[in-house]
Structure 1
Amino acid sequence: MLRGRWRTMGSALGRVLVVWAASTLTLLALAGILPDFRLRSDDGDSVTEIGLTAAWGAGAFGLLSALVWPVLVRALLLVPALVLGLLVFFLNGSLLWLALDLVPAGRGEVAPQTAVVVAAVMSAVASATSTALAVRDDEAYRRRLYRLAARRRGRRRGGVRDPGRTLPPGLVFVQLDGLGHQELRGAAARGVMPTVAAWLEHSHRLAPWRTDWSSQTGASQLGILHGSTFDVPAFRWYEKDTGEVMVCNRPRSAAELQRRAVDRTADGGLLRLDGASRGNLFSGGADQLALVLSVSARRGRANRSRAGYFAYFSDPAHAVRTAVSFVAEVVRELVQSVRARLRGDRPRVSRGGLYPFVRAFATVVERDVVVAAVLGDMLAGRSCVYADLVGYDEVAHHSGPHGPDTDQVLARLDRSLALLARVAEHAPRAYRIVLLSDHGQSPGETFLSRYGLTLKDLVRAGCGLPVRRRAGRTPSGAEARAAVRAALHRPVEEGAGEVRPARGPDPVVLASGNLALISFPDVPGRASREWIERAWPALLPTLANHPGIGFLLVDGEVLGPGGAVARLAVPGEAEELLARYGPGAARAVRRADGFPHVADIMVNSAYDPETGTVHAFEEQIGSHGGLGGEQGRAFLMWPTELSDPAPALVGAEAVHAVLRRWLGEADGPQVPLEDQRWQGPVGGTLPSAGVPAPDETR
């Protein structure tokens, strides 16, 4: 035992020396390249003296980074997360400046702007070297992971865990936002997602599940995590009793929807027992939260929704890697957008403005932070984790659900899954990784692009109200934009003027993908068909007979082209009229018709079953939110050790029941003993040195 301890100490010391040597060589190389950086005195030094100066500076910088950096990040906990990501570089440069001041005889000197560059490169090299050494030494890597996990599980409380005790298996649920069942199968078959393909061949099963009419993350994830999708008619809708617009990706709305679901089910949520919620709209009842929108409007240190950012950026090397990848993604989007324009791709939407940065945030920053948080949860031995990766959904809205743009995103997500599987081998309990999605994506030209006007303009024309001469664009409301706003401490959706529309005769028109909702604010309760036809005689015929609209729901009746009418209360009528939208369409519409906050008129776009295309009422060429095509076919992919779900899953509430059953299938109690429940540092995310960051598998 003593010999093994000495061998371990010698191995650790050797890794420290190698990292120190790599940092020293990096410092020497940078001093030779950068004009504003030197490692010699004014009188000149020998090669030996310059080498010793570099070694001194590298050692001082490494020591300061280890001791001072975590304190600085903690002190800046209330700074907006994205601001912290930029501030990281300047703080890191300041530490290097201080380290060079400690060099004897004033041999180290660097300009402030150069210090930022030198510090970033030094941090990246040191982290990469440390990780490479740890990974190459499997035993050292395993011991380090177990040591980190044991420290996080509860020794801070004085408990001592029996090393021979086996914890019951845990579950990690990874939501690949917006990825439909067919697209997942296609990506695995084409070799875009080799990890998923290997799992399907050897260890996992795959099945589709059908969403409700509101095929979007707000409804689906609320149902999956909290067991209820009741009274969520769309992504955004107008509530007459309060006069407010509810938007699923607005923090205040998300908090209210979660409260309503908990009240309805009388249950805390899927993750209430030792769970962690990462990157989601809702908490699921977890006590460990990071990047959860429903709590992101809170202020102060009690707000743990952004904790994952701070824990991740506490390692400057993480910030360097993520920042470089962020810039690369912005450039990639600009190049892809120009290529699409030069090729004359159709359909196409605008991809300018802030979109390249929103895309980079979703596909790089949020992915890296969420994956790192999940790795930390696994090392801490938490019994269940639910994480949402939104990158594919964001890119599919603007590039379409199929093609090289989305394939690149899926390939990087696949590498993140491979990293989760690799780290799971070193966790204190076995983990079963379940993949699922909340909805799919249906392609198609936007309503505005196809017909030259927005639905709001068509509604106003049908009501005889003035219409703008030039059609405006309906902004896209993807989930990633809400995450960006929350990270900037600005948790209000664009178009905030629609939060409380003025009451009056003018209708309120809100889009949710290829589903739209029309409400009359001055009419108490739900407007009847008779009232609408009396007040606005041309409105319903104008909408129902428009080629871009498939059907309307008005007070218990489905209206189709050519005067077709189906009463939901009469069996078979709605099924016949909605047959082209697939099995279960009439059931979904009938269920939504019973919601207290269903709109006066619900509008679903036209759908072509042969091409699978729809017309989004927002500026999205890959859309979801209503009925028609792949958007309503999500997937569930589970390890073979778990029992099979029902043959045909319908609705997110049914998925919730399956996941809850799987949580109960582990041997032994799901909640660890009290001495194992210490909640580690903010967000419970990955420690920095020696553990791979998410993008190190690129």
Structure 2
Amino acid sequence: MNEERWRGAGSAVLRMFAVWGVSTLTMLVLAGLLPDFKLQSPDGDSATRIAMTAALGAGVFGLLGALVWPLLVRTLLLVPAFVLAVLVFFLNGSLLLLALRLVPVNRGEVNPETAVVVAAVMSAVASATGGALAVRDDNAYRRRLHRLAYRRYGRPSGTPAPPGTVFLQLDGLGHDVLVDAVGKGLMPTVAGLLGGLPSHRLTPWRTDWSSQTGASQLGILHGSNFDVPAFRWYEKETREVVVSNRPASAAELQRRAVERTGDSGLLSLDGASRGNLFGGGADQLALVLSVAVRRGKETRSRAGYFAYFSDPANAVRTVLSFVAEVGREMCQSTRARLRRERPRMGRGGLYPFVRAFATVVERDVVVAAVVSDLLAGRTAIYADLVAYDEVAHHSGPRSRDAEQILRRLDRSLALVLKVAELAPRPYRIVLLSDHGQSPGETFRMRYGLSLGELVRAGCGLPVPRKVRRTHSGNEARAAVRTALHRPVEERAEEHHASPRPLRPRRPRLGQTSASSPSPTSRTA
């Protein structure tokens, strides 16, 4: 055992020096390419002194990344995630500036803007090098897994540990869409689970009246979705609007479910809840909405970011992917608008950033948390990957945009399966979805006015003039008149906008009409 420890320590030291050497070469290359980044004095230095400056700068930058960066990330958990994504680059560049200041020879010089670029490239290269070396050293990787297993369960006994369960929820993915995606070759990992000697079987299921994440996930994790009629509704008892993805509402729905069932949830026995609306009784929580309203350090919704962003390379990679996803959404939205695809949701404003957060940041953080849970040997893990649901709602469930997301989710699944094979206990992998989707126009697209405007018209309140400028708006007004038992005038000028807002005349109390006799009238 001592020999294995010394061998593991020796491998770790060799990997550290290898990463240091690659980082030094990267710094030298960047100093030669970037005019605002110098590793020598204005009078010039020998190649040896320049190499020494690069080696010392890379070493100090690596130490600061290992020691200072986790503290910075823990402090930044107090700021919103979008702000954190922007600050990652600037903080990494600041660490590089500090590293060059701390070099004893004091030869390095770099502009703040260039420092951001240099730090990002060096972090990415160091991460790739360390990851490649760790993968090649299978023995070291297995020893690390064994240490995690010993720490969790103690020394292995004669009987193997019972299998754990991983629930991966592909949010919003319907059965038929999944079958088509597998048939098109978009999800080879899922196809491998179902084909050949299948380890899994695909079973469709139907939601109840409320086909949405709040009702389905509450039922799965807590055993009851009683009195959850929709995603959003108004409760007369409390005179409040309940929204499933609002932290206060999610916490209240979870409390009611626990009170009704008398059980804390599916994950109450050594479980982990990742990226979900509800906790499921788990002790380990990350990005769980129902605990976002609590103020403890362990229950803040942003606490799940710490383990992932404590590695500066992870932060740089995710932020770069975030920026790329924003650009991808803008291009795809423009293409859909030029092609006049319908139905088409509004995709402007902040939506590109919301989509990038769901498809990049949340995916990376949740998958990393699941990998950590597997290595820790937790009994039950439930994770929600919302990337497909977010894109399908705006681009369509069978659109090319959504298919690209399915490809990426399949790669995330492949990573989880590989880690599960090396985990300290066997795992059963369960793929599931909370609901499906079907394409359709919104009420405004179909009728030219919103449902709220229709209700206002039915109540005799003013309706915006733009509502009456379309034929579809006129059809909606006809529906209002029918609901109010008023005849619809079929005149040619009915389709032209009038200068006054629409105010349907309401019958006065006690007034009767030929088509709707009053309760007190006599009938033959």
TM-score by length of 1: 0.65
Q: Report the 3-state secondary structure (helix = DSSP H, G, I; strand = E; otherwise coil) of the residue aligned with 1:348.
A: coil
Distance change in 2, residues 1:5/1:232 (3 Å): closer
Matches within 5 A, 1:270-669: 270-471=266-467, 539=483
Task: Indicate conservation of the 8 Å contact 1:219/1:232, yes or no.
Answer: yes
Partner of 1:192: 186
Task: Indicate conservation of the 8 Å contact 1:176/1:437, yes or no.
Answer: yes
Q: Distance in 1 between matches of 2:164 and 2:441?
A: 43
Task: Indicate conservation of the 8 Å contact 1:146/1:426, yes or no.
Answer: no
Question: What is the CA distance between 1:161 and its match in structure 2?
Answer: 3.4
Give the partner amino acid of 1:174: L
- Is 1:11 aligned to 2:5, yes or no? no
Distance change in 2, residues 1:126/1:471 (3 Å): farther
**CA shift digits 1:464-517 (9 cap, x unpaired):** 333232359xxxxxxxxxxxxxxxxxxxxxxxxxxxxxxxxxxxxxxxxxxxxx
Q: Report the 3-state secondary structure (helix = DSSP H, G, I; strand = E; otherwise coil) of the residue aligned with 2:411.
A: helix
Query: Larger C-alpha radius of gyration, 1 or 2?
Result: 2
Distance change in 2, residues 1:150/1:322 (3 Å): farther
Question: What is the CA distance between 1:71 and its match in structure 2?
Answer: 2.6
Task: Indicate conservation of the 8 Å contact 1:149/1:428, yes or no.
Answer: yes
**CA shift digits 1:406-434 (9 cap, x unpaired):** 01000000000000001111211111110
Distance change in 2, residues 1:54/1:208 (3 Å): same
Task: Indicate conservation of the 8 Å contact 2:15/2:130, yes or no.
Answer: yes
Partner of 1:651: none
Q: Report the 3-state secondary structure (helix = DSSP H, G, I; strand = E; otherwise coil) of the residue aligned with 2:408.
A: helix
Give the partner amino acid of 1:288: Q
Give the partner amino acid of 1:246: V
Q: Distance in 1 between matches of 2:73 and 2:439?
A: 43
Aligned residue-pair number: 474
Task: Indicate conservation of the 8 Å contact 2:53/2:105, yes or no.
Answer: no
Q: Distance in 2 between matches of 1:148 and 1:307?
A: 22
Q: Distance in 2 between matches of 1:387 and 1:227?
A: 17
Q: Report the 3-state secondary structure (helix = DSSP H, G, I; strand = E; otherwise coil) of the residue aligned with 2:436.
A: coil
Partner of 2:236: 240
- Is 1:172 aligned to 2:166, yes or no? yes
TM-score by length of 2: 0.86
Q: Distance in 2 between matches of 1:2 and 1:279?
A: 41
Q: Report the 3-state secondary structure (helix = DSSP H, G, I; strand = E; otherwise coil) of the residue aligned with 1:299.
A: coil
Partner of 2:500: none
Task: Indicate conservation of the 8 Å contact 1:193/1:414, yes or no.
Answer: yes
Partner of 2:41: 41
Which of 255, 258, 262 is 2:254 aligned to? 258
Larger RCO, structure (CA 8 Å, separation 6 or more): 1
Q: Report the 3-state secondary structure (helix = DSSP H, G, I; strand = E; otherwise coil) of the residue aligned with 1:433.
A: strand
- Segments of 5+ residues of structure 1 without an aligned counterpart are 155-159, 473-535, 543-562, 564-698
Q: Distance in 2 between matches of 1:4 and 1:197?
A: 40
Q: Distance in 2 between matches of 1:419 and 1:405?
A: 22
- The farther-off stretch of 201-210 and 294-303 is 294-303
Q: Distance in 1 between matches of 2:157 and 2:107?
A: 51
- Is 1:112 aligned to 2:112, yes or no? yes
Task: Indicate conservation of the 8 Å contact 1:89/1:120, yes or no.
Answer: yes
**CA shift digits 1:445-464 (9 cap, x unpaired):** 22211221222222333333
The CA RMSD measured in Å over matched residues stands at 2.1
**CA shift digits 1:332-379 (9 cap, x unpaired):** 111111111222212212211111111111100100011111111111
Q: Report the 3-state secondary structure (helix = DSSP H, G, I; strand = E; otherwise coil) of the residue aligned with 1:232.
A: coil
Task: Indicate conservation of the 8 Å contact 2:77/2:302, yes or no.
Answer: no
Q: Report the 3-state secondary structure (helix = DSSP H, G, I; strand = E; otherwise coil) of the residue aligned with 1:388.
A: strand
Distance change in 2, residues 1:541/1:351 (3 Å): farther
Q: Distance in 2 between matches of 1:541 and 1:221?
A: 42
Give the partner amino acid of 1:417: L
Task: Indicate conservation of the 8 Å contact 1:150/1:380, yes or no.
Answer: no
Q: Distance in 2 between matches of 1:350 and 1:324?
A: 25
- The farther-off stretch of 307-316 and 109-118 is 109-118
Task: Indicate conservation of the 8 Å contact 2:449/2:467, yes or no.
Answer: yes
Q: Report the 3-state secondary structure (helix = DSSP H, G, I; strand = E; otherwise coil) of the residue aligned with 2:466.
A: coil
Give the partner amino acid of 2:129: T
Q: Distance in 1 between matches of 2:216 and 2:238?
A: 24
Question: What is the CA distance between 1:165 and its match in structure 2?
Answer: 5.8
Q: Distance in 2 between matches of 1:135 and 1:247?
A: 45
Q: Report the 3-state secondary structure (helix = DSSP H, G, I; strand = E; otherwise coil) of the residue aligned with 1:146.
A: helix
Task: Indicate conservation of the 8 Å contact 1:463/1:539, yes or no.
Answer: no
Partner of 2:223: 227
**CA shift digits 1:285-338 (9 cap, x unpaired):** 111111111111223424342211122111111111111111111111111111
Give the partner amino acid of 1:194: P
Partner of 1:72: 72
Q: Distance in 1 between matches of 2:69 and 2:428?
A: 35
Give the partner amino acid of 2:376: A
Question: What is the CA distance between 1:147 and its match in structure 2?
Answer: 3.0
Task: Indicate conservation of the 8 Å contact 1:235/1:247, yes or no.
Answer: yes
Q: Distance in 2 between matches of 1:364 and 1:35?
A: 33
- Segments of 5+ residues of structure 2 without an aligned counterpart are 469-479, 487-514, 516-524
Q: Report the 3-state secondary structure (helix = DSSP H, G, I; strand = E; otherwise coil) of the residue aligned with 1:445.
A: coil
Give the share of equivalent positions with the same residue, in percent. 74
**CA shift digits 1:563-607 (9 cap, x unpaired):** 9xxxxxxxxxxxxxxxxxxxxxxxxxxxxxxxxxxxxxxxxxxxx
Q: Distance in 2 between matches of 1:300 and 1:142?
A: 35
**CA shift digits 1:45-103 (9 cap, x unpaired):** 11122112111111111122112222332344423333233323222222212211222
Give the partner amino acid of 2:278: F
Task: Indicate conservation of the 8 Å contact 1:222/1:228, yes or no.
Answer: yes
**CA shift digits 1:128-155 (9 cap, x unpaired):** 110011112222222233334545x37x
Question: What is the CA distance between 1:114 and its match in structure 2?
Answer: 1.8
* Larger helix percent: 2
- Is 1:182 aligned to 2:176, yes or no? yes
Q: Report the 3-state secondary structure (helix = DSSP H, G, I; strand = E; otherwise coil) of the residue aligned with 1:414.
A: helix
Partner of 2:92: 92
**CA shift digits 1:381-423 (9 cap, x unpaired):** 1100111011111111111100210010000000000000011
Partner of 2:508: none
Q: Report the 3-state secondary structure (helix = DSSP H, G, I; strand = E; otherwise coil) of the residue aligned with 2:267.
A: coil
Q: Distance in 2 between matches of 1:432 and 1:540?
A: 57
- Is 1:138 aligned to 2:147, yes or no? no
Q: Distance in 2 between matches of 1:378 and 1:2?
A: 27
Distance change in 2, residues 1:246/1:5 (3 Å): closer
Partner of 2:491: none
